[in-house]
Amino acid sequence: MSLLHTSNAARGQVWRDIFAAEAPEIEFTELTDAPDLGSVRYLAAWEPSTELIARLPALEVVFSVSAGVDQFDMATLPDHVRVVRMIEPGIAAGMVEYVSMAVLALHRDLIDYGVAQRAARWAPLKLVPAEARRIGVMGLGNLGQAVLRSLAAFGFPLSGWSRSPHSIAGVECHAGEAGLPGFLASTDILICLLPLTEDTRGILDRRTLSQLPRGASLVNVGRGGHLVDHDLLSLLDDGHLGGAVLDVTDPEPLPPDHRFWSHPRILLTPHIASTTSAESGARALIANIRRHVAGAPMDGEVARDRGY
């Protein structure tokens, strides 16, 4: 039973040691080991090439080394190959930390205070209590629900939107195209945690973002492809939106002349909101391979036709 890993070399060394110590029945290999590709049943990768997939006739499961799978070209994978995204505690913990930071920065007007600081203006703003700041999360999967649980402690009114209906304690849930306008109209800070699919690409455009109340803000920790850049810039420039915290862009990295770098109402970080922990990621992968061998459902398996 062989697993081929083709991603980060440093992570690979950690995984090799953990597999050897805790799962000796699973042969952990990398391309530098010159493995027998004909016997590889499992592949752990970020963006496997078409050429590599064609050299793996026994492949049964592709594991993403991250929480997303939009980087995979599903059309290049044989129909029988199952696709599984990474679910491990470090990803959720990092996302909760980052989104909490971003929401509190927007809630406590740090963008406005940054502008004032650069202009040497002492300009206190009226404090808005948490119970008067409405937070909305797009995407109610594992990460979205973890973020909502963490924000509940501050007393924010919480709502969520997803493609399919959900029921979450303490959260006003909306679903589908019909539920989107009401969700947006009642959101002061919008958090995007959607998977990137053909249906969600470009969803953060003028049509959507202009339905937010005037002065609302955006946190995008989904994918850069969700956002239409010039629409966000236009809405920030005309004052309809008050600010944005962006951890993802399209492309990554941005070209040096992109306006996101210098816009005074954007806080930009280089896709660091959450990363896979090498140690817990290895153990999550081992557990999933053992589930597959036992014929049990795997954590994080995606519906290939939906992309999530």
Asked if residue 121 and residue 218 are part of one domain, the reply reads yes
Q: Is residue 305 part of a domain?
A: no
Asked if residue 160 and residue 104 are part of one domain, the reply reads yes
Q: For the chain, what's the residue count?
A: 308
Q: Is residue 210 part of a domain?
A: yes
Asked if residue 103 and residue 223 are part of one domain, the reply reads yes
Q: Tell me, what DSSP letter sits at residue 137?
A: E
Q: Is residue 135 part of a domain?
A: yes
**pTM confidence score:** 0.92
Asked if residue 263 and residue 158 are part of one domain, the reply reads yes
CA 113 centroid distance within chain: 28
CATH number at residue 153: 3.40.50.720
pLDDT at 97 (0 to 100): 98
Cis amide bond preceding 251, omega within 30: yes
Q: Which of 85, 107, 223, 265 is catalytic?
A: 223
Asked if residue 206 and residue 157 are part of one domain, the reply reads yes
Asked if residue 109 and residue 45 are part of one domain, the reply reads no
Of the candidates 80, 130, 86, the one whose C-alpha atom is nearest the C-alpha of residue 104 is: 130
Asked if residue 20 and residue 104 are part of one domain, the reply reads no
Asked if residue 59 and residue 192 are part of one domain, the reply reads no
Question: Could you give the CA distance from residue 224 to residue 95 in angstroms, rounded to a whole number?
Answer: 16
pLDDT at 308 (0 to 100): 84
Of the candidates 281, 274, 279, the one whose C-alpha atom is nearest the C-alpha of residue 98 is: 274
Is 42:48 a contact under the CB 8 Å cutoff?
no
pLDDT at 72 (0 to 100): 92
Q: Is residue 72 part of a domain?
A: yes
Q: Which of 149, 201, 271, 290 is catalytic?
A: 271
Asked if residue 289 and residue 223 are part of one domain, the reply reads no
Burial 6-44 (b: 16+ CB within 10 A, else e): bbeeebbeebbebbeeebeebbbbbeeeebebeebbbbb
Q: Does residue 174 have an active-site annotation?
A: no
For 109, 195, 213, the CA distances from 266, given in Å and listed in that order, are 12, 22, 18
Q: Which residue do the tokens 């955006």 mark?
A: 218
Structural domain total, the chain? 2
Q: Is residue 35 part of a domain?
A: yes
Range of the domain at 13: 2-88+276-294
The first and second tokens of residue 52, run together, are 């590599």
Question: Could you give the CA distance from residue 215 to residue 53 in angstroms, rounded to a whole number?
Answer: 48
Q: Does residue 108 have an active-site annotation?
A: no
pLDDT at 305 (0 to 100): 84
Q: Is residue 56 part of a domain?
A: yes
Q: Is residue 62 part of a domain?
A: yes
Q: Tell me, what DSSP letter sits at residue 119?
A: T
pLDDT at 101 (0 to 100): 98
Going residue by residue through the chain (308 aa), what tens digit of pLDDT does each one get? 899 999 889 999 999 999 999 999 999 999 999 999 999 999 999 999 999 999 999 999 999 999 989 999 998 899 999 999 999 999 999 999 999 999 999 999 999 999 999 999 999 999 999 999 999 999 999 999 999 999 999 999 999 999 999 999 999 999 999 999 999 999 999 999 999 999 999 999 999 999 999 999 999 999 999 999 999 999 999 999 999 999 999 999 999 999 999 999 999 999 999 988 999 999 999 999 999 999 999 999 999 988 88
User: What kind and span of H or E run contains 267?
Assistant: strand 266-268
Asked if residue 131 and residue 280 are part of one domain, the reply reads no
Residues contacting 301, CB < 8 A, separation 6+ = 82, 83, 84
Alpha helices (runs of H) in the chain, residue ranges in sequence order = 9-22, 50-54, 89-107, 110-118, 142-152, 176-185, 206-209, 229-237, 278-294
Asked if residue 286 and residue 238 are part of one domain, the reply reads no
Q: Which is it for the CA torsion 92, 98, 100, 103, positive or negative?
A: negative
Asked if residue 107 and residue 9 are part of one domain, the reply reads no
Q: Is residue 6 part of a domain?
A: yes
Specify which residues 4 forms β-bridges with.
Answer: 29, 43
